[in-house]
Amino acid sequence: MSSISNDADRPGAIDARPVRHPGRWVAIAVIAVVVGMMVNSAMTNPRWNWSFAAEVMQQKPVLEGLLKGTIIGTVGAMIIGVGLGVLVAVMRLSDNPVLRYVAFAYTWFFRSMPRYVLLATMGSLGYLYPVVDLGVPFAQSLGLTFAQLDVNALSRGLMFGILGLGLSEAAYMAEIARAGILSVDKGQSEAAQALGMSPGQTMRRIILPQAMRVIVPPTGNETIAMVKDTSLLLAMSITTELFFQTQAIGTRTLKIMPAYVAACAWYLIVCSVLMVGQSYLEKYFGRGFGPMPKKTKQKITKIGADH
């Protein structure tokens, strides 16, 4: 039937030489040298003072600042930011023009305010309104106050700082959430409506869970940025915060560089943990959208196979 008559003539398993990538080896060599020099200098220059940096990391005020200002600050600000941001995004996409304009105005204002300036301004609100009366509108003139808030005291508290960061964050989160909502196919809300679901149910049960797939990655980005922005709380004279506390030790002991190293190390650790959390969230909200982990695995093996 053909000239290929026996198995010996037929091509067998491929045993080819892979493509060479000399450039990669050069790059690895250069990186190795640079890293080696850095490590060498870090080990031999006593001014780095690693042991002191490690000690600073474990000081009680530093740990308290890390927990309260940095971690609780980030978590609190992001809870306000995500919750309010999604609400603003839904308002922005609503049929109701009043809600749409309010949402637009909110985003416009808080995106235009630098965080540092916003926090400093909020920290001084006590100057304008030393006390806030809680009651019906125009309560003061009507003599109907139920309770009073001492703004001066409040504005120096962590809660107020978290509120400020959260309000600012919500403006950015609103745009992220809006992009997520718009990324969901229109057929989804139509199918939900056809089942008789109300617009609210459709948003909560069908649109938002799918939008989360698009919302989570940039939110991880925002969260990590927030960890670092908690150092701006100082603008409100909030000092239970990681960077201020490490810096304070540095200035007091005149070992400034090791103190900075301690702060950097803590920021690196916190952000690494957050990145792990993000990948779990992405997996959760990516359910039903194909086996993502497998794809990643393929990519990794492909890179390996290229050599």
Partner 1 sequence: MARPMDAPVLVRAINVTKSFHGNQVLKGIDMEVRTGEVVVLLGPSGSGKTTFLRCINQLETIDGGRIWVDGDLMGYEDKGGVLHRLHDKKIASQRRGIGMCFQRFNLFPHKTALENVMEGPVQVKKTSKAEAEQRAIELLEQVGLGDKPAAYPAQLSGGQQQRVAIARALAMDPKLMLFDEPTSALDPELVGEVLKVMRDLAAKGMTMIVVTHEMGFAREVADRVVFMDGGVVVEEGPPSEVIGNPQHNRTRAFLSRMRQEEAAHGRPPTTVDLSDVPAE
Residues at the site binding partner 1, with contacts judged by CB under 8 A: 185, 187-188, 190-199, 201, 205-206, 209-210, 285, 287-290
Could you give the CA distance from residue 131 to residue 150 in angstroms, rounded to a whole number? 5
Q: CB of residue 200 vs partner 1: minimum separation in angstroms?
A: 9
In the complex, least distance from residue 30 CB atom to partner 1, rounded to whole angstroms: 44
Nearer to partner 1, 248 or 281 (CB): 281
Closest contact distance (angstroms) between CB of 44 and partner 1 is 55
Q: Which is nearer to partner 1, 46 or 288 (CB)?
A: 288
User: Between residues 130 and 293, which has the closer beta carbon with respect to partner 1?
Assistant: 293
Q: Tell me the C-alpha distance between 73 and 172, whole Å.
A: 17
Nearer to partner 1 (CB atom), residue 252 or residue 287: 287
User: Considering beta carbons, is residue 135 or 217 the nearer one to partner 1?
Assistant: 217
Nearer to partner 1, 82 or 206 (CB): 206
CB of 197 to partner 1, least distance (A): 6
| Least distance CB 283 / partner 1 (angstroms) | 13
Do 263 and 246 meet the contact criterion of CB atoms below 8 Å apart?
A: yes
Closest distance to partner 1 from the beta carbon of 186 (Å): 9
Tell the smallest beta-carbon distance from residue 286 to partner 1 (Å).
9
Closest to 46 measured CA to CA, from 252, 258, 248: 258
DSSP the chain: --S--SGGGS--S--PPPPP-HHHHHHHHHHHHHHHHHHHHHHH-GGG-HHHHHHHHT-HHHHHHIIIIIIIHHHHHHHHHHHHHHHHHHHHTSS-HHHHHHHHHHHHHHHHS-HHHHHHHHHTHHHH-SEEEEESTTHHHHT-EEEEEEHHHHTTSHHHHHHHHHHHHHHHHHHHHHHHHHTS-HHHHHHHHHTT--HHHIIIIIIHHHHHHHHHHHHHHHHHHHHHHGGGGGGGT---SHHHHHHHHHHHHT-HHHHHHHHHHHHHHHHHHHHHHHHHHHHHHTTTS--HHHHHHHHHHHHHHT-
122 or 206, CB closer to partner 1?
Answer: 206
